Structure 1
């Protein structure tokens, strides 16, 4: 990526001491930033990913924080295991995702199925596993890392857009059911974030749009954003932290948009 890195935001006060948080896709990118942010606030973080080496590196980085980071190697296509992993959690961050950029007529059906499984069905199962404990104690925070593509579509991303739109509906339904039990459910909706998932898109985007790879950032990824830069993972993690804090107790069933003005068009 040639775009300049934006300074990490200053962390706002948040105390999650005594709370257990589960973050999916925690080995890198947004998930890693969220795991470290919640651990810094004192939470015991179950860091879920299928990347064992990435989780071990994350756990090492989290050793000096107020809370703890516990690696939990898990492939979210194992839906029963995902639901079990969420039992007893106070904070659930559904972040894991994958991407493939192809026209619909060339999109592999098996990949479409996998994307929907990991990014929509697994969050449903994780929420299902987490709610009994949250309801029992009268408190819980569910944050679904959606995307600007949960609110807008882009060509060549049929599976990703479908999954994120579905996640928005799941999050709102969870908010309605959870409200009488002290449980909030919200989405955060970033535009393009400086993550490996975005970096891996460059070649596919170049091929799909018929342009050189070096032009993808300015002509495709940032074309609709009024703020011409990528979002840093730490900025998304700070939005997640806000939704877990007491100041956001009345915020539920909504989407916190971090899109640099994309949806203002």
Structure 2
């Protein structure tokens, strides 16, 4: 707890009330005020109720991250609760559950909104972790396109030629959106550093969540699960393992880590680079 008014707690913001968001909230929330956000009111209410029953101080804010005004309001709400110590952005959609247009609006533009809005309320010691995906490491935009994905205003991202070229290909949209997350984090590190704050991304592999279950049951599911065997991992990851990685990046042991991406994928990306024929 930071020094200040008696009873005032540091604030942890978690976007996304799914498996990873819930695990992160439980890992980081003890002794702090949790501000949770999700586009689904019913899903958000269920998690808020569960966490309150476990003794957490928690507030839910229905938020569509693709709407900049909603994300700005979320940031103001969080700052009104106390010092924002950590922001963990897990909200996102996948090709099994969303169209290419929705994937780009939520995963790409939504992440840009979160980075920009929470920079305004970040202070010394604040950490933002954006949950991206190992899929972002598959992308291969040109150097020029990467520069635009990193620095174009959030409102202009969907109009970029490399984004428009995705068309209706949901998987391609997902891969590009996750690469954009990496690039936005890198580009934002300077501004966050100047506030004494840090920003990083995490790229999970296949994690046991409702979203990954939907992916496993999709047309690409067999390939995805076979990769887990081929790379030697032999299993999916768990939300708790992502929460542990987030806790490290958000904590004092990572005080000199910013502007980078941490792969938490059981070695899948390494296998793809070095061993896949």
Write the distance in 2 (CA, Å) between the matches of 1:97 and 1:67.
Answer: 24
Q: In the alignment, which residue of structure 1 is the partner of 2:28?
A: 38
Q: Residue 187 of structure 1: SS of its match in structure 2?
A: strand
Q: In the alignment, which residue of structure 2 is the partner of 1:75?
A: 64
Among candidates 216, 234, 238, match of residue 232 of structure 1: 238
Write the distance in 2 (CA, Å) between the matches of 1:21 and 1:121.
Answer: 22
Deviations 1:44-70 (A, max 9, x none): 111111222222221222225564221
Write the distance in 2 (CA, Å) between the matches of 1:21 and 1:225.
Answer: 35
Q: In the alignment, which residue of structure 2 is the partner of 1:91?
A: 86
Q: Residue 77 of structure 1: SS of its match in structure 2?
A: coil
- How much does 1:153 deviate? 4.8
Write the distance in 1 (CA, Å) between the matches of 2:174 and 2:230.
Answer: 18
Write the distance in 1 (CA, Å) between the matches of 2:120 and 2:62.
Answer: 23
- Higher share of residues assigned helix: 2
Contact 1:190 1:258 in 2 (8 A): yes
Q: In the alignment, which residue of structure 2 is the partner of 1:113?
A: 101
C-alpha distance 217-151 of structure 1, shift in aligned 2 (>3 A): closer
Q: Residue 200 of structure 1: SS of its match in structure 2?
A: helix
Write the distance in 1 (CA, Å) between the matches of 2:224 and 2:135.
Answer: 17
Among candidates 161, 165, 172, match of residue 158 of structure 1: 172
Deviations 1:141-189 (A, max 9, x none): 0101011112125997111111100000001111122112211111111
Matched, 1:123 2:111: yes
Contact 1:90 1:130 in 2 (8 A): no
Deviations 1:11-58 (A, max 9, x none): xxxx688221221112x2111111222212x22111111222222221
Q: In the alignment, which residue of structure 2 is the partner of 1:187?
A: 201
Contact 1:90 1:133 in 2 (8 A): no
Write the distance in 1 (CA, Å) between the matches of 2:61 and 2:92.
Answer: 17
Unaligned runs of 5+ residues in structure 2 are 3-7, 141-168, 272-277
Contact 1:86 1:127 in 2 (8 A): no
Q: Residue 91 of structure 1: SS of its match in structure 2?
A: strand
TM-score, length-scaled by structure 2: 0.75
Q: Residue 219 of structure 2: SS of its match in structure 1?
A: helix
- How much does 1:79 deviate? 2.2
Contact 1:82 1:125 in 2 (8 A): yes
Write the distance in 2 (CA, Å) between the matches of 1:175 and 1:50.
Answer: 27
C-alpha distance 141-43 of structure 1, shift in aligned 2 (>3 A): same
Q: Residue 56 of structure 1: SS of its match in structure 2?
A: helix
Kindly report the root-mean-square deviation, in angstroms, between the aligned alpha carbons of the 2 structures.
Answer: 2.6
Q: In the alignment, which residue of structure 1 is the partner of 2:127?
A: 141
Task: Tell me the matched-pair count.
Answer: 232
Query: Which shifted more, 79-88 or 248-257?
Result: 79-88
Write the distance in 2 (CA, Å) between the matches of 1:243 and 1:152.
Answer: 23
